[in-house]
């Protein structure tokens, strides 16, 4: 797909959670961020971020405002961070019985169960495409387990999935918008600029 001129317009779901920080990082990474509160806004976007926050609350609000089907169909790059990763997964453990799972990536996630039950910690993450590790901030992060080989693991911490992608669906169990590091946002912006065949972060160790 040809690279489009101008800044890519990237939505940040702004129903609850850490959306303002993502907007700031997107702006600094060369995109035009838009706060998304209604499904009608999705058509105009080159990409979308589902931020961290409380996945049960965000899921209820997504249903209430009619986002469920539009998000299952959204065909541009989409990046779920922490609670956003939970929402994009196929299967959720430790959630409400009818918690919204958009089934956009073949992952089983377990809420609030990362590592040694640590509430919050920072760890350097190696991505094979990036020369220096990303200082990743984990806040009550989910554990994630790939359910198919369509999931490409991009980074791990303590032997657990910390970042992954499946075609143009990206997920990270940490908060990239708190890392002080723009590289992942830049990679996502590049991918939104050129469609799903754009920049590919490769699986890392
Ligand atoms: N524990 C939260 C949830 O289950 C996610 C935490 C976060 O987004 N930082 O929704």
**Domain limits of the chain?**
9-197
Tell whether the model's pLDDT for residue 114 goes beyond 90: no
Protein residue with its CA nearest to atom 5 in ligand 1: 83
The helix, strand and coil proportions of the chain, stated in percent and rounded to the nearest 5, come to 25, 30, 45
Q: Does the model's pTM come out above 0.85?
A: yes
Distance 37 CA to ligand 1 centre (A): 20
What would the pLDDT profile of 147-199 be if each residue is shown by its tens digit? Answer: 999 999 999 998 999 999 999 999 999 999 999 999 999 999 999 998 644 44
Q: Is the CB of 76 under 6 A from ligand 1?
A: no
Tokens describing residue 113: 């169960």
pLDDT score at 6: 84
Q: Is the CB of 111 under 6 A from ligand 1?
A: yes
What would the pLDDT profile of 73-108 be if each residue is shown by its tens digit? Answer: 999 999 999 999 999 999 999 988 899 999 999 999
Of the listed 40, 68, 132, 177, which one is catalytic? 177
**142, 85 Cβ separation under 8 angstroms:** yes
One of 3.40.50.1010, 3.40.50.880, 3.30.450.20, 3.90.700.10 is the CATH number of 9-197, namely 3.40.50.880
């Amino acid at each position: 797909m040809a690279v489009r001129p101008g800044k890519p317009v990237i939505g940040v779901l702004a129903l609850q959670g850490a959306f303002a920080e993502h907007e700031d990082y997107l702006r600094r990474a060369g995109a035009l961020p838009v706060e998304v509160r209604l499904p009608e806004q999705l058509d105009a976007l080159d990409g979308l971020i589902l931020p961290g926050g409380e996945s049960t609350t965000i899921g209820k609000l997504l249903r209430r405002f009619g986002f469920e089907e539009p998000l299952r169909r959204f065909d541009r790059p989409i990046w779920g961070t922490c609670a956003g990763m939970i929402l994009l997964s196929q299967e959720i453990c430790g959630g409400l019985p009818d918690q919204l799972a958009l089934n956009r990536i073949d992952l089983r996630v377990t809420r609030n169960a990362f590592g040694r039950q640590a509430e919050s910690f920072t760890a350097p993450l190696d991505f094979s495409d990036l020369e220096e590790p990303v200082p990743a901030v984990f806040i009550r992060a989910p554990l994630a387990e790939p359910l198919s080989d369509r999931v490409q693991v991009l980074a791990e911490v303590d032997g657990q999935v910390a970042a992954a992608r499946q075609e143009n669906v990206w997920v990270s169990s940490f908060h990239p918008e708190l890392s002080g590091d723009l590289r992942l946002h830049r990679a996502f912006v590049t991918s939104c600029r050129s469609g799903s065949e754009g920049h590919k972060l490769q699986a890392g160790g």
